[in-house]
Structure 1
């Protein structure tokens, strides 16, 4: 069964519109926004695992790189995963709900230098983190390193030239990331949380696909929030940079760990 077979059935226009409507609550009501995103992400990963392994994910370990507050921990615990979150910022780590099933663990560390052994987790996820890292493909290489052969690496990130590339600065990022940040500062009296050049970087769809293909581990790629009938857009150069707001790269580590990926 193709790894996206089950998730493709979930990727409807209704789902896309529902998620789009939730984005407006990211700043005023983060619990609502991140709660909805966490549930959708857990469902996506569960579908990918079930399609690839023909079994439920119960008992398997998921490492969430850049997991932030506890919304994802709760969602993945309910899905049956043994959840481990990695977060470098203690404010983010403790900024969300404390409730989960009691088994979630958090590690304060950088995603580009994960403090885990080779082949130590079943699934490694990074959701909307790569665009906030100066060396995103070093993060990707680390994710591959710590994932067991036969496991899954799912790296999802926001494309810079897409409509949400500027994050809270809106569409002003099309005039330049630094200009958008200066405008945000003038309007709101403080710098944006996702500040271009320090905590937000211009990552393209082509960048991710080039890296993923070079690893030899790429299984598939698709636009995270698009309905299934629009997934073809990720295969079209230039169009994907503007029309695909978020790229998902699904990789399966090869048997010989460490033989392909080094820091880049």
Structure 2
């Protein structure tokens, strides 16, 4: 499924993130569900039907429909009550809580994932550790996030200004639009690198099943293996872990 056509389609959708969120997140949710379905089949040999899935930072619930269509037991956790109700979507199992202190016991979920959340919290690796903790032995943890020095690291502040600095991009956006961006650098947007994510993955105690650039076609996945280049060429890094029977 990692084709150039898919990459171009997702890239086009980015322009609708704030103007038409139901379109942007609807397509992203279906793409996410397909990725997780493929990863789960590849890593465990089984489909998603009947699996217990936790979405860390699921927001207003756009992703719930994609997993309901796959007969999953879907739970989302989100710290912001306003964000949970923003789209008026009813999710049967929506829990208010922090990703860095998940309100679940150990080993509950077959698959725990987080999509585009890590760059919005100051300590994403604490969230990653919590995701591993609540996943059952043999289950998968999938952490996907926007890389700071990638082209979309600055989010709505633009493709280039964040290369000068997060504060510069934030202030420039505020001057141009008369209001601060939704994602405020230093408050709700942080500079998360590929290198930091890879260090966390290898020190997590879980088995690293794979890392790849989410929005790239398969023939461009080699970029993840090249230091420095990956920081600028990879827009979104996906880390796939499998929890061991006993964490190292």
* TM-score computed with the length of structure 2 as normaliser: 0.97
- Within the candidate set 8, 12, 35, 1:17 is matched to 8
1:169 aligns with 2:157: yes
Q: CA deviation at 1:108?
A: 0.4
Q: Could you list the per-position Cα deviations for residues 168-189 of structure 1 after superposition, in whole angstroms to 9, with x for gaps in the alignment?
A: 0012111100111011111111
Q: Does 1:58 align with 2:18?
A: no
Residue number in structure 2 paired with 1:6: none
RMSD value, Cα: 1.1
How many angstroms does 1:106 deviate by? 0.5
Match among 32, 39, 44 for residue 41 of structure 1: 32
Q: 1:31-90: CA deviations, max 9, x gaps? A: 100000000001100111112222221111110000001110111111221110000011
Counterpart of 1:89 in structure 2 is 80
Note the C-alpha offset of 1:99.
Answer: 5.3
Name the structure 1 match of 2:179.
190
Say which of 221, 224, 228 aligns to 1:238.
Answer: 228
TM-aligned CA deviation for residue 98 of structure 1: 1.8
Alignment partner of 2:63: what SS? helix
Q: Give distance in 2, aligned partners of 1:86 and 1:239.
A: 34
Aligned partner of 2:215 in structure 1 is 225
2: CA distance, partners of 1:47 / 1:219: 13
Residues 1:253 and 2:243 are matched in the alignment: yes
* Inter-partner Cα distance in structure 1 for 2:22 and 2:64: 13
Specify every segment of 5 or more residues in structure 1 that has no aligned partner in the other structure, as ranges.
1-9
Q: Aligned partners of 1:253 and 1:54: how far apart in 2?
A: 15
Q: Is this contact kept in 2: 1:74–1:99, CA < 8 A? A: no
TM-score under structure 1 length normalisation: 0.91
Q: Which runs of 4+ in 1 moved over 4 A?
A: none
Contact 1:234 1:244 in 2 (8 A): yes
User: In 2, are the aligned partners of 1:116 and 1:146 still within 8 Å (CA)?
Assistant: yes
Say whether the 8 Å CA contact 1:133–1:201 is kept in structure 2: yes
Distance in 1, Cα, partners of 2:223 & 2:14? 22
Which residue number corresponds to residue 140 of structure 1?
128
